[in-house]
Amino acid sequence: MSPLSQPTIHYSGNETVKDHPPKRREPKKERSPARNKIVQPLKGLKIVIIHVKDRLDDGPPICDSVKEQLDEYEKVENLGIEFIFPSQGDALYF
């Protein structure tokens, strides 16, 4: 075991305090091509996003960034989910 993985023990009075080294988080990796060949476990599931709270600043519409984030997540995870963002007054048929 390397010295970096062992906790440092400090004694103060009657208490023992252990300092653990910080856990390192690895960046999320793209799925392997083999993962993309697996049958999509949630294929055909439609998720309808009916409300997204807008920001009060003049930035880009929050709905666009939510769409981008969900599409990116679906591309990485390959679950087969279809995200639907209807406009006000749209009729939905399933």
Q: pLDDT 10s per residue in the chain (94 long)?
A: 455 555 555 555 555 555 555 566 666 666 555 555 667 899 999 999 999 888 888 888 888 999 999 999 998 999 999 999 999 899 988 7
Domain that holds residue 68: 30-94
59 falls within a domain: yes
Tally of residues, the chain: 94
In a domain, 19, yes or no: no
> Would you give the DSSP letter of residue 19?
E
The total number of structural domains in the chain stands at 1
Give buried/exposed letters for 8-27 (b at 16+ CB in 10 A, else e): eeeeeeeeeeeeeeeeeeee
